[in-house]
Every structure is written in C-alpha cells, then in structure tokens.
C-alpha cells in the first residue's frame, strides 16, 4: 500500500494540496494511505524547507507549490512505478 504524506503547517495552500491529493486518489481509486504531517520537525527530517510539500513512500515529489489534480494523478501514477 502506498503512503502519501501531505506536508504543511496548516496554511491555506497546505489545505488545498490535501484537498487536491484526496480528489486525485479518489479519481484513481488508489489503494493508499494519505496522512497530513504538520510537525515542522518531521517535515524538516524529510529535507523539506518549503511547504506545502508532498511525499510518496518517503520520497518528496513536490515542494513549495500546489499541483493541480491532473498533475497529481500523473505524479501518483509515476510514483507507483
């Protein structure tokens, strides 16, 4: 099962990323777990210095921006390969 981490401290962009991720996951019918990480120490431990960010199975794939649902579908599909 894929683990998707939405990394952010709670700003509006972080909430939008979480919303877009959930929409992409639902549209793709992915078998995954989506978690929101707001602890700045956990975020920094992944090497992220700019939020919002997205990590898939421990690999950071987006930082500092909110990708569209379509872009997230591509990223999540590629991350599964």
Query: Considering 3, 9, 10, 11, which one is annotated as catalytic?
Result: 11
DSSP 8-class letter at 62: E
Cβ partners under 8 Å of residue 73, min gap 6: 24, 27, 28
Catalytic residue check, 14: yes
Catalytic residue check, 32: no
Query: Considering 14, 37, 72, 76, which one is annotated as catalytic?
Result: 14
Beta bridge mates, 2: 32
User: Is 26 in a helix, a strand, or coil?
Assistant: helix
Return the active site residues: 11, 14
């Amino acid at each position: 099962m894929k683990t998707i981490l939405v990394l952010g401290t709670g700003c509006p962009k972080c909430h939008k990323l979480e919303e877009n991720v959930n929409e992409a996951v639902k549209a793709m019918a992915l078998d995954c777990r989506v978690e929101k990480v707001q602890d700045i120490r956990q975020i920094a431990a992944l090497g992220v210095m700019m939020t919002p960010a997205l990590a898939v199975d421990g690999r950071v794939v987006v930082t500092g921006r909110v990708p569209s649902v379509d872009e997230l579908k591509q990223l999540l599909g590629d991350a599964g390969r």
